[in-house]
Amino acid sequence: MNVLIVAKTRVGGAVCVGALDAHGSSLRLYEPNWSFPPSNSPYQVGQLWDMSLVSRPTTQPPHVEDVAVTKAKHVGQVPNLTAHLRQRITPWTGGVAALFEGKLGFTSNGRGYVEEPNLPSRSTWFWTPDRELQRATIGGKVYYRSGGQEISYVGVDQPIATIPANALVRVSLARWWRPPDADPSFPVRCYLQLSGWYL
């Protein structure tokens, strides 16, 4: 199956690779042993690969996109990725609250998350924000601000100062997590992330 690489994000010393299959469905690529690809993975955004894929036997929503790559051959490069995507996918539009089927909650500092039982049907997709997103660095981490809301940036590319309104961006939900020093009664959540843009 032809697979288009659309995003790479940092996960410790490895990378999380986002892709679209030939039908326009989101994929998250893993090694055959279900580990994340190494940081020197050959996959680059905009590349086309011919892949043999195996779906994860059991999934925990909203992370339903996981596939293991058992065979891969690089077959080409999309010359204009932004135009290619806009012709083939229908992004979410509007403000941050519209993302993930409107099921985001927000912390007191405006960071989006989902928690059970109010889960969306997917954990990755594309978005065209209705206002520009401004870069901010807080505690050594990069975020993009939209009004009073902040989205953690986890991509591998150098963060740009401003993502224009109506630009195409990719958002995702992190794996289930709660602060290690939190009370055991604190809910486990999947936090909103921004992994890249297509200008």
The predicted-structure confidence for 44-66, as pLDDT tens digits, reads as follows 999 999 999 999 998 889 999 99
The predicted-structure confidence for 127-144, as pLDDT tens digits, reads as follows 999 999 999 999 999 999
Q: What is the mean pLDDT of residues 27-49?
A: 96
Per the prediction, the chain carries an average pLDDT of 95
User: Would you state the pLDDT for residue 147?
Assistant: 87
Residue 138 burial class via C-beta count within 10 angstroms: exposed 0-12, middle 13-18, buried 19 and up: exposed
Give me the residue spans of the domains in the chain.
Answer: 2-82, 88-198
User: Domain 2-82 carries which CATH code?
Assistant: 2.40.50
Residue 193: band (very low, low, confident or very high) from pLDDT cuts 50, 70, 90: very high
Q: What is the pTM of this model?
A: 0.94
Residue 156 CA to residue 99 CA, distance in Å, equals 22
Residues 36, 30 contacting (CB under 8 angstroms):
yes
Residues 98, 128 contacting (CB under 8 angstroms):
no
In the chain, the largest separation of any two C-alpha atoms, in whole Å, equals: 50
43, pLDDT greater than 90: yes
Name the residue among 75, 4, 7, 80 with its Cα closest to residue 37: 7
Question: Hey, which bits of the chain come out as E strands?
Answer: 2-11, 14-20, 26-30, 47-55, 66-77, 92-94, 105-106, 112-114, 124-129, 133-138, 141-146, 149-153, 162-163, 168-173, 190-198
The predicted-structure confidence for 147-188, as pLDDT tens digits, reads as follows 889 999 999 999 999 999 999 999 999 999 998 998 889 999
Residues 48, 76 contacting (CB under 8 angstroms):
yes
Q: What is the mean pLDDT of residues 72-101?
A: 96
Residues 135, 116 contacting (CB under 8 angstroms):
no
AA identity, residue 164: P
Residue 78: band (very low, low, confident or very high) from pLDDT cuts 50, 70, 90: very high
User: Would you state the pLDDT for residue 59?
Assistant: 87
Name the residue among 99, 179, 101, 178 with its Cα closest to residue 146: 99
Name the residue among 23, 13, 37, 15 with its Cα closest to residue 3: 23
User: Would you state the pLDDT for residue 15?
Assistant: 95
User: Would you state the pLDDT for residue 12?
Assistant: 85
Element (H, E) at 54: strand 47-55
